């Protein structure tokens, strides 16, 4: 059982404690409390800003270090800037001679090292014009490349910003035409900017194979020949072939000339010289006119006008040496004969 506290002792103890408390010098006011809280808030804000500032300094220093590490020495070289000083593709097109369609538009810039490019060409005769312009301290070379032969150099271009026109001269023609693929090859020295336009030469040349022969020949297409006829001309007859004889010449006959008053013959051949004659259908009759034809693959024109001595002429005879390919179309131009008639090289009685 807990003893009860003596009321007099309790009163005495309370009096003593109150006296001791009154003797302690401590006073708490509202203003003091607000000031203390404000000082603590300022201290916390200052601490936060100090941390943020330190972090910003670290980020800035780190970013500067990264920028210094990855920044290239000197101003960056933009390919478009280097190409801007070259003739445009439109300017290159103005320098073509054949007026053919565009095959490819090519351009690039060599960096700090010399560089070589290869671009595939469409399968065909590769009778193209290569219009090239470049800028740089060294010339660049342009070649025709195929797996079957060594690269054929088309030319060396001085990189002064001018327009250069290059073409294949037919070197290693049979190997090039028989190759599965052919490319244009460009080699440039460091810092060279270049632009190239590859254009058809306008002849319409294609690779033709005749009969069982595996030899490719470069001749104008029949469509191109038709497009070159005199305005208003009417087709009479056409023919093409290859003399596969081991030696000598083969005779091919083009019939159907009828009684046209004026005849235009468009002819092309590849190989040895061919002769073209006009005669009657009688195989024993002599030729009314004969023309020797150079077989370099280019298109040639014969114009002939009938007179009283040649009323019986009705066919053309083509004498073709061994290994020579040829093609011909004869047109009636009686309605619009040319102002100047090309005389034959030789005339037989």
Please, what's the largest Cα pairwise distance for the chain?
174
Token pair in block for residue 51: 């941390």
- Tell me the average pLDDT across 211-239: 85
As a whole number of Å, the CA-based R_g of the chain is 47
Q: For strand 205-208 and strand 217-220, is the pairing parallel, antiparallel, or unpaired?
A: antiparallel
Residue 257: Cβ-neighbour burial (10 angstroms; 0-12, 13-18, 19+): buried
Under a CB-based contact definition with an 8 Å cutoff, are residues 258 and 236 in contact? yes
- Tell me the average pLDDT across 92-112: 90
Residue 60 confidence (pLDDT): 58
Given the candidates 1.10.357, 1.10.30, 1.10.3470, 2.60.120, the CATH classification of the domain at 206-332 is 2.60.120
Most confident of the following: 35-39, 101-105, 122-126: 101-105
CATH class of the domain at 81-200: mainly beta
Residue 33: Cβ-neighbour burial (10 angstroms; 0-12, 13-18, 19+): exposed
User: Between 343 and 43, where is the model more confident?
Assistant: 43
Token pair in block for residue 305: 């006008």
Question: Which residues, other chains included, contact 318 with Cβ-Cβ below 8 Å and sequence gap of 6+?
Answer: 239, 241, 251, 252, 253, 254, 274, 275, 276, 326, 328
Residue 186: Cβ-neighbour burial (10 angstroms; 0-12, 13-18, 19+): buried
Residue 20 confidence (pLDDT): 67
Across all residues in the chain, what is the average pLDDT? 82
pLDDT band, very low/low/confident/very high, at 97 (cuts 50, 70, 90): confident
pLDDT band, very low/low/confident/very high, at 316 (cuts 50, 70, 90): very high
Please check the confidence at residue 73 and state whether its pLDDT lies above 50. no
Residue 193: Cβ-neighbour burial (10 angstroms; 0-12, 13-18, 19+): buried
Least confident of 26-40, 94-108, 206-220, 252-266: 26-40
- DSSP letters along 148-168, please? TEEEEEEEEE--BS--EEEE-
Residue 126 confidence (pLDDT): 80
Residue 229 confidence (pLDDT): 93
Please check the confidence at residue 101 and state whether its pLDDT lies above 50. yes
Under a CB-based contact definition with an 8 Å cutoff, are residues 139 and 188 in contact? no
Please check the confidence at residue 340 and state whether its pLDDT lies above 70. no
Rounded to whole angstroms, what are the CA distances from 208 to 46, 189, 204, 205?
Answer: 90, 39, 12, 9
Token pair in block for residue 288: 């009314």
Domain boundaries, the chain: 7-70, 81-200, 206-332
Residue 71 confidence (pLDDT): 42
Please check the confidence at residue 247 and state whether its pLDDT lies above 90. no
Q: For strand 140-146 and strand 182-188, is the pairing parallel, antiparallel, or unpaired?
A: antiparallel
Secondary structure (H, E, C), 252-287? EEEECCCCCCEEEEEEEEECCCEEEEEECCCCCCCC
């Amino acid at each position: 059982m807990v003893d009860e506290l003596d009321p007099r002792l309790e009163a005495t103890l309370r009096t003593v404690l109150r006296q001791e408390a009154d003797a302690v010098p401590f006073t708490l006011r509202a203003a003091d409390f607000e000031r203390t809280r404000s000082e603590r808030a300022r201290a916390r804000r200052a601490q936060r800003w100090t941390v943020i500032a330190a972090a910003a300094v670290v980020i800035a220093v780190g970013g500067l270090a990264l920028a210094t590490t990855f920044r290239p020495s000197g101003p960056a070289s933009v390919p478009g800037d280097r190409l801007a000083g070259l003739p445009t593709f439109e300017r290159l097109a103005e320098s073509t001679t054949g007026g053919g369609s565009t095959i490819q538009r090519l351009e690039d810039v060599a960096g700090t090292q010399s560089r070589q490019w290869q671009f595939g060409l469409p399968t065909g005769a590769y009778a193209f014009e290569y219009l090239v312009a470049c800028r740089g301290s060294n010339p660049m070379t342009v070649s025709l490349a195929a797996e079957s032969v060594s690269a054929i150099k088309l030319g060396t271009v001085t990189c002064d910003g001018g327009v250069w026109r290059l073409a294949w001269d037919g070197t290693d023609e049979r190997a090039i035409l028989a190759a599965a693929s052919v490319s244009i090859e460009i080699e440039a020295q460091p810092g060279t900017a270049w632009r190239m336009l590859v254009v058809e030469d306008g002849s319409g040349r294609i690779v033709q194979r005749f009969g069982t022969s595996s030899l490719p020949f470069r001749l104008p297409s029949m469509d191109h020949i038709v497009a070159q006829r005199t305005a208003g001309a009417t087709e009479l007859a056409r023919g093409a072939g290859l003399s596969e004889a081991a030696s000598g010449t083969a005779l091919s006959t083009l019939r159907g000339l009828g009684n046209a008053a004026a005849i235009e013959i468009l002819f092309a051949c590849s190989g040895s010289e061919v002769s073209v004659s006009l005669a009657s259908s009688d195989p024993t009759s002599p030729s009314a006119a004969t023309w020797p034809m150079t077989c370099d693959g280019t298109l040639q024109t014969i114009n002939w006008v009938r007179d009283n001595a040649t009323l019986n002429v009705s066919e053309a005879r083509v004498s073709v040496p061994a290994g020579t390919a040829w093609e011909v179309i004869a047109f009636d131009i009686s309605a619009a004969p040319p102002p100047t008639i090309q005389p034959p090289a030789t005339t037989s009685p």
